[in-house]
């Protein structure tokens, strides 16, 4: 498309989607109309190997970027309506709109793949791939104007997470990893810290309400610094060596789906609080590996 200045314009999938679903900025959200989108050059290149894992991984990165564009459009606007879900957690138009956008894109590119999303549940396909999406992780941050919310996309192949993306659009950080190809933050490869002691280690929590008070005391007695820079942002900090561990006592698969590949490709360790390498345990811990057992031992008491 050529704009009025005669410059070649490229509409990303999210821009085209928003153009047809919103019209003017801040217009009240309504049921999205999903129109076919033009593939970007990145996707065109990738789909020459249509069925490969890497093509899907690249699509995941592009969709996370596009999800971020939708989120930023809604972030910190008074037009955002917040509702409570049955579990009491907040949900917004942005959560639903982003998930519907990603679902439509995945269905268009890979109609045989399965899909699990926080807001619209499970769709079962026939291929060996499943996409797992949390459209906005950290919705409480999102609705309070805190830029530490994220768009999470993960790709599972035969039951194993093989690619993942954490995109923090308002913080302008995107982290992605594919099995065997390293963990990358804004284009730079990252690694977990090499700290081996709890003394001085940073341990993240999304919230402390479900922590046993003795665990907090014992971590602090061991010299650890506890901070609530949580949700996906905390996992990103661990992967990039800015913190040593994050502990989540209450999670669903979509809260954690990108973390195994992100953390492991950065050289760290991800497990449930039972020490099992899985995202379905109802909780999770990620660390630099060196402090994993000592943090697990302390947080599992009580
Ligand atoms: C939350 C985050 C957080 C976890 C909460 C989730 P949401 O997700 O994933 O890390 O501890 O239990 O609800 O609701 O902001 O997508
Ligand atoms: Ca969410
Ligand atoms: Ca979440």
Q: Domain span at residue 118? A: 13-181
Q: Write down which residue in 149, 181, 213 finishes a domain.
A: 181
Residue 134 and residue 87 share a domain: yes
Residue 173 and residue 44 share a domain: yes
Query: Which residue, 187, 184, 162, is CA-closest to 257?
Result: 162
Q: What is the pLDDT of residue 86?
A: 82
High-pLDDT (> 70) share of the chain, %? 83
| 175 falls within a domain | yes
Residue 55 and residue 117 share a domain: yes
Q: How far is the CA of 31 from the centre of ligand 1 (A)?
A: 25
Residue 161 and residue 25 share a domain: yes
Domain count, the chain: 2
Residue 206 and residue 171 share a domain: no
**Structure pTM?**
0.86
When pLDDT is averaged across residues 174-190 and rounded to a whole number, the result is 98
Chain mean pLDDT for the chain: 87
Q: How many Å apart are CA 131 and CA 112, to the nearest integer? A: 11
Digit-coded pLDDT (tens) for 230-254: 999 999 999 999 999 999 999 999 9
Residue 214 and residue 122 share a domain: no
Measured from CB, residues less than 6 Å from any atom of ligand 1 are 89, 134, 137-139, 206, 230-231, 248, 250-251, 255
Q: How far is the CA of 254 from the centre of ligand 3 (A)?
A: 6
| 190 falls within a domain | no
Q: What is the pLDDT of residue 35?
A: 36
Phi-psi map region of 118: left, alpha, beta (phi>0 left; psi -120 to 50 alpha): alpha
Tell which atom from ligand 1 comes closest to the C-alpha of 134. 16
**DSSP code, position 32:** P
Q: Which residue has the tokens 């807001």?
A: 119
C-alpha radius of gyration, the chain, whole number: 19
Q: What CATH number does residue 279 fall under?
A: 3.40.190.80
Q: What CATH number does residue 49 fall under?
A: 3.30.540.10
DSSP letter string, 205-274: ES-STTS-HHHHHHHHHTT-EEE---HHHHHHHHHTTS-SEEEESS--HHHHTTHHHHHHHTT-EEE-TT
Return the structure tokens found at 32: 């999205």
For the ranges 66-80, 191-205, 243-257, 285-299, the lowest mean pLDDT is seen at 66-80
| 277 falls within a domain | yes
pLDDT of residue 123 exceeding 70:
yes
When pLDDT is averaged across residues 266-270 and rounded to a whole number, the result is 98
Residue 249 and residue 122 share a domain: no
Q: How many Å apart are CA 24 and CA 162, to the nearest integer? A: 38
| 213 falls within a domain | yes
pLDDT of residue 302 exceeding 70:
no
Digit-coded pLDDT (tens) for 26-53: 333 333 333 334 445 444 444 444 469 9
């Amino acid at each position: 498309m050529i704009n009025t200045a005669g410059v070649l314009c490229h509409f990303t999938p999210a821009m085209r989607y928003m153009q047809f679903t919103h019209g003017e900025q801040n217009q009240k959200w309504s049921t999205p109309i999903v129109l076919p989108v033009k593939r970007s050059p990145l996707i065109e290149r990738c789909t020459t190997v249509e069925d490969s894992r890497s093509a899907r991984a690249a699509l995941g990165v592009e969709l996370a970027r596009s999800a971020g564009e939708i989120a930023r459009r809604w972030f910190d606007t008074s037009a955002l309506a917040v509702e409570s879900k049955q579990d009491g957690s907040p949900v917004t138009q942005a959560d639903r709109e982003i998930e519907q956008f990603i679902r439509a894109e995945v269905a268009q590119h890979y109609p045989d793949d399965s899909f699990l999303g926080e807001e619209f549940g499970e769709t079962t396909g026939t291929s060996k791939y499943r996409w797992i999406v949390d459209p906005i992780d950290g919705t409480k941050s999102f609705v309070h104007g805190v830029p530490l919310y994220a768009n999470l996309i993960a790709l599972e192949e035969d039951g194993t997470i093989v690619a993942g993306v954490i995109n923090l659009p308002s913080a302008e950080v995107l982290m992605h990893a594919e099995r065997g190809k390293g963990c990358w933050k804004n284009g730079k490869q990252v690694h977990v810290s090499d700290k081996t002691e709890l003394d001085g280690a940073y341990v993240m929590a999304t919230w402390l309400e479900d922590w046993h008070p003795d665990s907090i005391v014992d971590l602090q007695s061991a010299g650890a610094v506890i901070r609530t820079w949580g949700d996906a942002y905390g996992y990103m900090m661990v992967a990039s060596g800015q913190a040593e561990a994050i502990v989540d006592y209450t999670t669903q698969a979509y809260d954690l789906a990108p973390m195994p590949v992100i953390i492991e490709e950065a050289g760290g360790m991800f497990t449930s609080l039972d020490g099992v390498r899985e995202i379905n345990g109802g909780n999770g811990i990620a660390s630099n590996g060196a402090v994993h057992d000592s943090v697990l031992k302390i947080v599992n008491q009580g």
